Amino acid sequence: QVHLVESGGGVVQPGRSLRLSCAASGFTLSRHGMHWVRQAPGKGLEWVAVTWYDGSNKYYADSVKGRFTVSRDNSKNTLYLQMDSLRVEDTAVYYCVREVKYPGYFDLWGRGTLVTVSS
């Protein structure tokens, strides 16, 4: 079975940091670009970041640029999202998503992990 499983979400105060992880199973992570997509409560989908299959290139949404860092460890089949200087507006479910091929659409989504930024 092919799966993506996110972890690391929780409640955090504004200005603090959090690191999300995404464990891939059933496929070879190193063959795919990987993305993070978020969805605020009751809102639509917002693309957050991408890392190329080998980690050589990374792109970010303007809303998180300079605060979030995407990385990957292909030897561990794991994707990460380091989130610093968190804001209330970063509250959302964060999905780990697989890209078919660059530049490509998304064919596999994790169940998501909820991040709540609140004082």
Residue 117, strand partner residues: 12
Q: Which is nearer to other proteins, 45 or 114 (CB)?
A: 45
The residue assigned the tokens 């992570």 is 29
Among the candidate windows 16-24, 56-64, 74-82, 84-92, which touches other proteins by CB under 8 A?
56-64
Binding residue (CB under 8 A) for other proteins from 95, 113, 115, 117:
95
Query: Is 44 among the residues that bind other proteins (CB under 8 A)?
Result: yes
What helix, strand, coil percent values describe the chain, rounded to 5?
10, 50, 40
Tell the smallest beta-carbon distance from residue 13 to other proteins (Å): 28
What's the gap between Cα 64 and its chain centre? 12
| 112 binding other proteins? (CB under 8 A) | yes
Helix (H) or strand (E) holding 73: strand 68-73
Quickly tell me which residue has 């809303």 as its tokens. Answer: 63
92 scored as a contact of other proteins (CB under 8 A): no
Give the residues lining the site for other proteins (CB under 8 A): 35, 37, 44-47, 50, 59, 61-62, 95, 99-100, 103-107, 109-112
